[in-house]
Amino acid sequence: VMRDIEKKFVDDGLGKIKWSLDKLASKGKISADMVKASLDRITTTTDLKESVKNCDFMIEAIPEVLKLKQDTFKEVDSIAPKHAILATNTSALPITEIAAATKRPEKVVGMHFFNPPQMMRLVEVIYGAKTSKETAEITYNLAIKLGKEPVYCLKDIPGFLANRVMNPPGNFLAWLVSEKIFTPEEIDSTSHFKLGNPMGTFGLMDYVGLDVGYNVQKFFEQREPPYKVAPILEEKIKKKELGVKTGKGFYEYPDKQWRVPPEWSKDKAEKVDPMMSAYVAINRAAQIVADGVASVEDVDKAVRLGFNMPFGMLQLADMQGIDVVVQKLEELDKKYGKIDGLHALLEPHPLLRKMVKEGKLGQKTKQGFYKY
């Protein structure tokens, strides 16, 4: 049962599902019969009571506004059967605070699908402070039944796993652009020509929408000082330069279609250390493991599947050498740590220092985050 607040939104949603199924059928991924069978299984309504009165499992995917989600969960809680699990597809908001609007916080869970959900395999299953183990396990197993690859996020932290690891490095690079140390095209040229990244950091921000990334960064800033959003991102939001969808972000898109910016070049790629942001990501991943938020394997799986990476950040740390990672972070901290809020991202995490002290340096010593 699919429900939205107005019929036009429901019809638009169903239209997008049909378009997506037809596209999969045209590529031979599914049959025409499967398209019809899938659509036949969907019932649409604008009546919230009708949509959840017999449900076993609800997935909410409304706008990322905490009060809006809390109001919805409060209303659903009063209608849905007592056994029903209420899941939220939020990408950043606290599960605990959404669950607090209900009388069944043990049955409220985060179920974060990555975009586009029909293609992306990752689902983060996030515990709120009172989510029961049974609720989390049912959610995890449902994700597997849907053909997904779930991971557990055992504590309700800002950004959960994949975004917590991969968003701060983008903010770090945006600070370097704000401070006029590098330009977006220098950073993206390095990423594109040296690492084989098709979109680069700022190109990807433009593609996704600067407002989307900004909202996640702003949430980090509110919840975890001294983290601060880079001024360049604030400026773009104020000017409504949101990327591809507005025709301009860090680059210009006259036809509102993403393409490789003409400003990128192999010459510009020589100006930036391509590994800088990776060291920041490794530092964040180490923090998640040290805080008991997720296993090494789940942190790497989340990053790999969520951002289409060939390997996870902790695996990369083992490949580089944990001692090298610590040394590089210290060098970055010395260079850029005085810039507002960056020291917190660049100071090597105590877990990394402990591993160096214990000689657990990664592949070269046969033990790091993994054993070899």
Give the burial class of 27: count Cβ atoms within 10 A of its Cβ; 0-12 exposed, 13-18 middle, 19 or more buried: exposed
CA dist 136 → 111, 164, 213 (Å): 9, 20, 27
Contact present, 206 and 214 (Cβ < 8 Å)? no
In angstroms, the CA 132 to CA 144 distance is 19
153 closest CA partner among 125, 174, 115: 125
Cβ–Cβ under 8 Å, residues 85 and 52: no
Angle at CA 194, nearest 5°, toward 188 and 200? 25
Task: Tell me which of 112, 192, 343, 349 is the catalytic residue.
Answer: 112
Pairing of strands 149-153, 85-88: unpaired
- Is residue 79 within 8 A of residue 54, CB to CB? The reply is no
Say if CB 16 and CB 43 are below 8 A apart.
Answer: no
Residue carrying the six token digits 């990128």? 264
- SS3 letters for 150-164? EEEECCCCCCCCHHH
Q: How many CA atoms lie within 13 A of 119 on its CB side?
A: 8
SS3 364: helix
Q: Is 192 a catalytic residue?
A: no
Residues identified as active-site: 112
